[in-house]
Copies of this chain bind each other. A is one copy, B any other.
Amino acid sequence: MADTASPPRQPRWRRRAQARPEEILDAALSEFTARGFDAARMEDIAKRAGLSKAAIYLYFPSKVAVLKALIEAKVSPLARQAQALAAAGAGDPLGALRTIAAVAAHLLQNAELIAVPRLVIGLSGRFPEIAEYYRTHVVEIARAALSSLIEAASAQGAIRNANKDAVVRAFIGPLIFEALWTHVLQGESALRDPEKMIEHHFDVLLKGLEVRA
């Protein structure tokens, strides 16, 4: 009797097959980030994404499948971006390296961004395919991009000859370290001032520690 006279009720739910997958992945990222893969509950992911747990299984066959899709979705863009930056900067490789470092330093401020690699680190033992995917689709691509820039810089005399892999490590390593220090260990972070950090980074990287004559 009460509300028989209110026809324009809004439906209890809507069909939005198009938008669901991405929403699910976003929700999953949040939950995985906060609790880790195992402790994250499908029920909570569903709630956050605004549908029922069962509905998730209309889009993904399993929890691991959600994780894989998540990694693929969040990771490929980064790899492509790195390649693009490297390609665009072939003319001025040293400048491109500096730009990439600056961009990276800015991005690394964002905690959600390093959530994926953290998941990968934690799960690489149990799901080697995930580690492999991350290596081949992200890190190897970034390494290749950097390598090509370094080679170009060396070829045109902008930097001296040195072992390429060592240079790549010297370029990336400190950034990774600071990201871990900041987001994993909650340490006081140099990332708060990315420009200054990159300035110092390049000062050491270019000039080295030796006392010049």
Q: Is B169 touching A170 in the complex (CB atoms < 8 A)?
A: no
Contact of B172 with A209 in the complex, beta carbons under 8 Å: no
Main secondary structure of the interface of A (DSSP, over half): helix
Contacts of A162 in B (CB 8 A): 200, 203-204, 207, 209
Q: Once the chains are docked, how many angstroms separate the CA of A186 from the CA of B134?
A: 11
Bound together, the chains give a CA A169 to CA B197 distance in angstroms of 10
Contacts A166-B197, A166-B200, A210-B206 known; A185 to B134 CB distance under 8 Å? yes
Instruction: Note all chain B residues with C-beta closer than 8 A to A135.
Output: 181, 185-187
For the complex, give the distance between the alpha carbons of A190 and B122 in Å. 22
Q: Is the CB of A204 within 8 A of B139?
A: no
Which residues of A does B touch, CB under 8 Å? 33-39, 118-126, 128, 131-132, 134-135, 139-140, 157-160, 162-163, 165-167, 169-170, 172-178, 180-181, 184-187, 190, 197, 200-201, 203-212
